[in-house]
Amino acid sequence: MQFAMFALTGSTVELLAGAFQQIIFGTRSWDYSAQALNLGGYVSLKMTLLWGIAGMALMYILLPVLLSGFNRLHLMHRRTLCRVVSAFMCANLLLTCAALLRWQERTVEASPASNAVEVLLDRRWPDERMHQRFPNMQFIHGDNGGL
């Protein structure tokens, strides 16, 4: 039952995230269309099974190790650690989104940098670096969304 829930949850998140990304941003980060039993290329049977395996591994291997270390910390340090990690993840998400949106502007619209932030993004995350980080990213043209 746990395996099925991990598999279903992982595939549902992958399906919704992929559709959201394509509709809102006009981009696509993965495409499982060539795999058997896929749903719009967003999910496939192979990936669903991998989500189930990953969930079981996290629950029975990684989680006990992480909890053991986390429980050794004083309550105040746990809260501080959670705040620091949360702040880092938020900053990482915002910076990644900014770099991706700027990459899309450069690629699809051939838009030159028009302010200091765009200049910084172009210098720190040029097309070559973005392609290395996101090798499967596709910019979709037409009526598929986009900002």
Q: How many domains does the chain have?
A: 2
In this structure, the answer to whether residues 42 and 57 fall within a common structural domain is: yes
Q: What pLDDT score was predicted for residue 146?
A: 41
- Say if 147 falls within a structural domain: no
In this structure, the answer to whether residues 63 and 109 fall within a common structural domain is: no
The domain of 4 spans: 1-72
Q: What pLDDT score was predicted for residue 145?
A: 43
- Widest CA span in the chain: 54
Residues with pLDDT less than 70, the chain: 141-147
Q: What pLDDT score was predicted for residue 147?
A: 37
In this structure, the answer to whether residues 82 and 67 fall within a common structural domain is: no
- Say if 140 falls within a structural domain: no
Q: What pLDDT score was predicted for residue 141?
A: 63
- DSSP assignment letter at 107: I
